[in-house]
Amino acid sequence: MANTKTYEEKVQTLEAQGLCRSDAQAVVDAQEQKRIRANANRQARNETVLYGLPKGAKERYEEVLLLTNGNAAKIERVKILAAHDGFHSFRVAEIDLNVPPDFSKSIL
């Protein structure tokens, strides 16, 4: 359940526990900053990855990771360079790092 206390109520609670007002305000401010940072970290946790098969490889399990955190221009550049080196069958995947992997789906 979300904490629905106002800033002032949180400060008053800490004052009732024996903290002076300025210390209570500092604690509440620090808690709020920690909450804001945690939310920011949770929101922006996607990674774009580029895979490709090396020359002579045909199966998906032989894919090689070629690039992480690339934008569209960088992905296209790496594809061109990798194709020049014999890579083929490129695959771009978007991974949401907020969601833990479910390896049970890969078990037959």
Q: What is the pTM of this model?
A: 0.56
- 88-96 β-sheet, strand order: 64-68, 46-53, 88-96
> Which of 85, 89, 103, 82 is closest to 59 using CA atoms?
89
Q: What is the pLDDT of residues 24-38, one digit of tens each?
A: 898 888 888 888 777
pLDDT band, residue 1 (cuts 50/70/90): very low
Q: What is the pLDDT of residues 77-89, one digit of tens each?
A: 999 999 999 999 9
More confident residue, 108 or 65: 65
Cβ pair 32, 25 in contact under 8 A: no
> Would you list the domain boundaries of the chain?
7-43, 46-96
